[in-house]
Amino acid sequence: MNDHVASTAGGMAKLGAAVVAAGALLAGMMLPFVAGTGLLARDSASLLDALPVELTDQTLNGNTTVLAADGSVITQFYANNRTPVTGEQIPPVMREALISIEDSRFYEHGGVDVQGTLRALGRNLAAGAVEEGGSTLTQQLVKQTLLQTAETPEQRAEATEESIDRKLVEARLALALEERYSKEEILTRYLNIAYFGSGAYGVQAAAQRYFSVDSADLNLAQASVLAGLMQSPAIDSPLVNPENAQSRRDLVLARMHELGYITDAELADTTSQPVVVTAQPNPPNGCIDAAVGGFFCAYLQSYLVDTLGMSQEQLENGGYTIETTLRTDVQRSGDQAVRAAVPMGNSLAGMFTAVQPGTGHVLAMSVNRNYGCNSAADISCESVVLNTAASQGSGSTYKVFTAAAALEQGYSPSYTMTTGDTYVSRVYRDGRDPYDVSNSGGQPTTLDLEGALIRSSNTYFLALEDALGSVEGPVRMAERMGMNFDQANQTPAQQIIDENRGSYTFGAEATSPLDLASAYSTLAANGTQCDPIPVTAITDPNGAPATLPDGTRIDTSDDCVDSAVPARVADTLNQILRRDVEPEYPGQTGAGAYVPGHQIAGKTGTSQDNFSATFVGYTPEYAASVMVLNPKENENVGGFGGGRPATIWNDAMTPILNSAPPVAFRSPDPRA
């Protein structure tokens, strides 16, 4: 129905239009009918043919709910806050209140109430203002359905156009709707689609918003308030204008009494009380409102759209349940560890990113930032998912790729070279000159592969690249383990190979924290590589697997490749990298990450000029990378990978690892 009329002049203008519309409507409604024994017989076939798909579909699906792995709610996605309910979940008193104030002849008419329209015209003319409308609930359902399913401004304008043609179409569709559906179904659909103000669409959302109860538990006082909101939800809101809300409630109660729905005592008792609300906020909407893991949520949203092919419209209106891989315990532990080491508001960002070996399930994405920004100048928040962005290199963490390529080609962990404090490459160039590197002080000049990896010897690994003859082996190994080089600011893998970049083994390439955690998880899984995935299941409102608009089932299965890295290579590296973390190994760099009683492998890295510091640690059950860097500009982080990054890893993973019995790495098969 129309909103309250602001002035008598405005009301009389609408009256004139209403009189004209009524005459045309009465004539127009005769078109699909034929006379017979003084009654009107519908041409059912032509009426049903007129129904658009929006009106033959079921109730709008409502909010999509995103769940963590433990079943707790992370957030919801919705365009309109709506939670559809069944007819059994709507109490009779709500139905009676609505019918009384909006369409008292609902059970008598066939979709268009000619008698009610004429009666409304008479009352309005007598009052000199629009006090009663002539649209039935069925007509209102038609209008609201077409409006709320409109996809373009033109469709929205067409659904609300104040014209005789639209009224005629609306009337005919209402007649057809009643031909197909029962009165109870129409009433239920209307109560699920109606707007009740304050962002609440449908009776369940309204019951929660104003009274903090489910629709099934609405009482007379509450139902009469909600019914009174139908005409002007903003003007009559009990949150904004309690006096208006009480006046409308009392009008609803009076009509219910007049129609015999409530007794004298119920009328007197309810009208004697003020409107009482117990308001609660609308549910969270989107990743900015996520209860936990805002950056994970944003990564999930991008994954659903860009990888799985869902549309944002599906997310906001599909009513799906999305079960994710997020471990709330790992996420919260990561949040606490990151913010303890790199406080909020620091120009440096700390990122903790965890995945599950053998599945690729993304377990946590922690950042010392709040997700979602309105101001680029506010460094305490961020709208970019830093856990997936490649902004700086990760230093010596790339030496693992070179070591893996060498082991695959038959080099032994005991392969020994003497390199000196500075090594000049025989293969790689730095412009016109040979490429050369030096070690940070005090390292032995003669090392085997195992000792060089533990001590992170620069000279040894440039010499090892020389022995391999090309960076192709290390680059392809990194790709097979899960590294990607496809972001706008990254150099494609083939270009790195073509240019034969000797710096590759020192991690100069811009690196995604998620890629890094994923690649090391391949070692943890004994060579099985799994693409990162944040979702395990998506179901529609009926509990069936969700589909894309073309009917294709959405695939949320794990995407893994067995033996992407030979098991003997993975097992050997796991045992070597344990020595970089666990006690009693001279020269190790990752001791700060060690959790007593657990087998932990890992590797540190620090980029050129200390623009980033990195630690990647893993067990057979968890793999997590930690990077500390300034994502906006180059800044010396003031430390190395074995400092804050290793500490963050330790603080984040200690409670997680200690909550379950330790799991051991597999020993290399001597026969392999």
What are the pLDDT digits (tens) for 622-671?
999 999 999 999 999 999 999 999 999 999 999 999 999 999 999 987 76
Going by the DSSP 8-state scheme, the letter that residue 303 receives in this structure is I
Is the pLDDT at 52 greater than 70? The verdict is no
Triad 141, 142, 143: Cα angle to 5°: 90
Residue 49: inside a domain, yes or no?
no
Is the pLDDT at 12 greater than 50? The verdict is no
Q: What is the pLDDT of residue 380?
A: 87
In the chain, the percentage of residues whose pLDDT exceeds 70 is: 88
On whether both 544 and 660 belong to a single domain, the answer is yes
- pLDDT band for position 48 (cuts 50, 70, 90): very low
Count of domains observed in the chain: 3
Handedness of CA 587, 593, 599, 602 (dihedral sign): negative
3-state secondary structure of 438: strand
On whether both 323 and 409 belong to a single domain, the answer is no
155, 145 contact by CB (below 8 A): no
Buried (b) or exposed (e) across 10-19, using 16+ Cβ within 10 A?
ebbebbeebe
On whether both 486 and 349 belong to a single domain, the answer is no
Question: Amino acid letter at 246?
Answer: Q
Q: Crossing angle, helix 183-193 and helix 137-148, to 10 degrees? A: 50
Q: What is the pLDDT of residue 584?
A: 86
- What are the tokens at 186? 């129409």
- pLDDT band for position 54 (cuts 50, 70, 90): low
Is the pLDDT at 159 greater than 90? The verdict is no
Rounded Cα–Cα distance for residues 486 and 314 (Å): 28
Q: What is the pLDDT of residue 58?
A: 56
Is the pLDDT at 8 greater than 50? The verdict is no
Strands 422-430 and 433-438: antiparallel
342, 638 contact by CB (below 8 A): no
Question: What are φ and ψ of residue 637, in 5° steps?
Answer: -80, -10
The mean per-residue pLDDT over the stretch 506-510 comes to 96
- pLDDT band for position 70 (cuts 50, 70, 90): very high
Mean pLDDT score of the chain, rounded to an integer? Answer: 89
3-state secondary structure of 324: strand
Q: For residue 136, how many C-alpha atoms fall within 13 Å in the half-sphere facing its CB?
A: 27
- pLDDT band for position 168 (cuts 50, 70, 90): confident
On whether both 199 and 239 belong to a single domain, the answer is yes
Residue 52: inside a domain, yes or no?
no
77: β partners: 64
3-state secondary structure of 545: strand
3-state secondary structure of 171: helix
Is the pLDDT at 321 greater than 60? The verdict is yes
Separation in Å, CA 128 to CA 9, 115, 244, 251, 408 = 9, 20, 21, 19, 91
Which of 271, 302, 329 marks a domain boundary? Answer: 271
**Comparing C-alpha atoms, which of 472, 261, 444, 294 is closest to residue 369?**
294
Q: What is the CATH number of the domain that holds 409?
A: 3.40.710.10
Residue 264: inside a domain, yes or no?
yes
On whether both 17 and 127 belong to a single domain, the answer is yes
On whether both 156 and 99 belong to a single domain, the answer is yes
Handedness of CA 194, 196, 199, 205 (dihedral sign): negative
Top pLDDT among 165 and 241 is at 241
Rounded Cα–Cα distance for residues 390 and 317 (Å): 33
The number of beta carbons lying within 10 Å of the beta carbon of residue 234 is 13
- Structural domain boundaries enclosing 305: 292-389+512-603+611-666
On whether both 525 and 552 belong to a single domain, the answer is yes
Rounded Cα–Cα distance for residues 471 and 469 (Å): 7
Residue 402: inside a domain, yes or no?
yes
Strands 321-324 and 64-67: parallel
Cβ within 8 Å of residue 548, ≥6 positions away: 309, 310, 554
Residue 214: inside a domain, yes or no?
yes
On whether both 517 and 500 belong to a single domain, the answer is no
Q: For residue 126, how many C-alpha atoms fall within 13 Å in the half-sphere facing its CB?
A: 7
On whether both 12 and 156 belong to a single domain, the answer is yes
Going by the DSSP 8-state scheme, the letter that residue 113 receives in this structure is -
Q: What is the CATH number of the domain that holds 13?
A: 1.10.3810.10
Is the pLDDT at 122 greater than 70? The verdict is no
Is the pLDDT at 133 greater than 90? The verdict is no
- Indicate the range of 78-87, 242-251, 440-449 predicted with least confidence: 440-449
**Comparing C-alpha atoms, which of 521, 507, 492, 500 is closest to residue 620?**
521
Going by the DSSP 8-state scheme, the letter that residue 390 receives in this structure is -
The mean per-residue pLDDT over the stretch 519-534 comes to 98
Assign 3-state DSSP to the chain and report helix, strand, coil percentages, each to 5: 45, 15, 40
Residue 60: inside a domain, yes or no?
no
On whether both 630 and 531 belong to a single domain, the answer is yes
Rounded Cα–Cα distance for residues 541 and 605 (Å): 47
**Comparing C-alpha atoms, which of 592, 574, 585 is closest to residue 640?**
592
205, 196 contact by CB (below 8 A): yes
Q: What is the pLDDT of residue 487?
A: 95
Q: What is the pLDDT of residue 465?
A: 97
Residue 62: inside a domain, yes or no?
no
The mean per-residue pLDDT over the stretch 14-40 comes to 39
In the block, which residue shows the tokens 């909550």?
659
**Comparing C-alpha atoms, which of 561, 551, 554, 552 is closest to residue 518?**
561
Residue 64: inside a domain, yes or no?
no
Give the DSSP H/E element, type plus range, for residue 77: strand 73-77
Q: What is the pLDDT of residue 61?
A: 84
Is the pLDDT at 335 greater than 90? The verdict is yes
3-state secondary structure of 462: helix
Q: What is the pLDDT of residue 121?
A: 60
- What are the tokens at 2? 């129309």
On whether both 411 and 422 belong to a single domain, the answer is yes
